[in-house]
Structure 1
Amino acid sequence: MMTSKETTLLQRTSLPGIAMWSRWQADRSMFFNSFFVEGEENLIVDPLALEDADLRTIEAAGGAAWIVVTTRDHERQAGALAQRLHARIAAPERDLKELTVKVERALRDGDTLGRARIVQFDEMKSPGELGLYLADCETMIVGDALQGDPPGSLRMVPDAKLGDPKRAALSLRRILALQPRNILMGDGHCVFGNATQALEEYLATRTDVLIHKINLDELTDWTERHGPGRLHRRQAEVGFLLGAHRLGYQVLEIAPGEWGSPLHGHTEEEELYVIFDGSGTIRFTFGEYPIRKGDVIALPTGKRGAHQLRNTGPSKLVVLALANNEPGDGCFYPDSDKLLFARNTMPRMVSGNRGTDLDYWDGESG
């Protein structure tokens, strides 16, 4: 039990299951921060020294499965804390040779650890600089990739400390693509609530790069959508990545013989498809029609715009999808009689006839 005379640093944040502690760095005129993230596997990120009372609090919460070092320069007290808590250390694969602690897991882009997904940055202060994205609370945790200084704003470390300032700045768009509400930083003041806006404002000050442009061969953050049978596609977020707000852009890739989605239509978002490569068909409720490279296809809201892409060609089908972003957009699925309400805010999929909650793929076949 903690007595009134004991010193504590650990404090809860407004985010579920996340606490932090800080120590003032007089030579830098800012606080350095560390984070405790509770979940199926508890994580401690970039640990500074802790008081005994704080260690007991962490032990009472189940201890820590992993100590995460986000960069070679944030080894800090990782070794001592791992020994005290019987935790393992995870660190960027690219920085392993420059760490003195024993690392039991090398982290790469896209890995998952506890509640977090690993996001790798390029040409930062250290080659391995990475962040941890917690989708359940729309939060990014970074080490040296960004600093919170002055309060409420973000900036990178001076360009002279970066491997390649332009590539480093552009790699921060990977954070924009995730649209986090909060960014917790190892150095300086964390930003809560408007983190994406703060990052956009910082990147807009960098006239050495154009953040609003990307080539398709530069897209790295692809996700997979798997359904029953032939329902499968890859997709990459483009709009948020480039700082777009009112229009949404995604690139879709559909392999030969596969279908990009169930037959569906939108209530508020009018879409446009541009076929960049490949061939196939697009199916509507009133017929199925061939498509090929160079086609531009309007998809109005309502029943007439309900559609499904099918790759019937010999190579992958590559499509740029554009739409107006509408928070109240809903989807309907004619083949399976489903309705998806508030798709972008509080999604709920129900049966059109029974009103019961359903899985996204319920009633679909490929």
Structure 2
Amino acid sequence: MNARTLAPSPSRRGVAAPLACAVPFACAAAIVAGGAAAADRPFSSASPWNTAIPSSAVYGSAPAAPGLLAGVDSWDAQNVWSIPFYRATTADASRPLLYNPLAWYKVFTGEWRRAGNGAAVEAEILASSKTAFPYPGNVYSTTKAGAWTLPSSYNKTLNPASPPARFYVGAAMKPATGADGHMAVAQPNGSVLETYATIVLGSGQLVALSYAVSSATGLGDGWQNGQTASMLPSYAGLLCDEELAAGVRHAMAISAPASLLATQIAYPAYAFDRDATTNQQPYSGALPMGARLALPPSVSVASLKLATAEGAAIAAAAKTYGFIIVDRGGSGATIRVNPNCAAANPVLRAWSYGLQNDLNAIFSRLTRVGW
């Protein structure tokens, strides 16, 4: 059973969030401790996220997304579609995590909230929750169009011998407010708890539709069973404000509209959306989930005539590392940004005419790249 079959609703990230600009944005994060972002670069040096595009790489002959509007999800001040990423310590409470099959739908309909529900609603949530999770993998991911087929090998979520599973989560740690309700919490042992359709109860108990425990020190690929359609970790490839001054040293995660996507998979992804062909906005493009897009060597940053320093920094990273498609979302390309960086850059935190034009210029010249 998947989140989309639980109710007659638009799919996960299939509906645009109402924003002050033309692009519906979706998803972001980076590890934060005590409300302040850490400048972590997750995963090993061999990770596809941290590997620079080699000189032997092969680039597509035509732009991958001509005319596509691009933006950053942090332009949504409410962080409805963000992925708050926190770091817990052993001083934080160890909290139980419960399964609820309605955790996505009831928030989508407005009956429940991600946090701050009244006593009657919380009683309803608890009454319909269970201590064990019924499925080892993402309920919204698949490797085969029209079916729910997960990879033959991946990091399966297993219930403990005596459920529920418990994790360190601080009292101030809350999920994104939208229907997807993402949250990621680095644990004291080095693992990362990723939850989807998360609800935090007044007691501190956590409720979710799906979760995984991934590693921030490995390859960061879809084997991790991350809580995205691609099964890539939800915190992979996130952009942080201070990186724009210091230099972005990793591939950047983006969500892409269904009109660009095909029911195919490119490493490091392990899957794509389960409803890719049945959603009201079905996949209708040519790019596989997990595709890497980059500025080819023939395109210089100077030739783009960018207006902002932030745009130039993103363009430089787009040449060295590129963007990796991790999820479906909205009608434009969306760069995922940590909503809790140590320093807030105004052009990332509110819609910027200059950065909007710069991103459109960058994305108009991107091609698919592989090696």
Quickly name the TM-score band, shorter chain normalised: under 0.3
* Higher percent of residues as strand: 1
Q: Please, what TM-score do these two structures have when normalized by structure 2?
A: 0.23
Q: Please, what TM-score do these two structures have when normalized by structure 1?
A: 0.23
Higher relative contact order (CA 8 A, sep 6+): 2
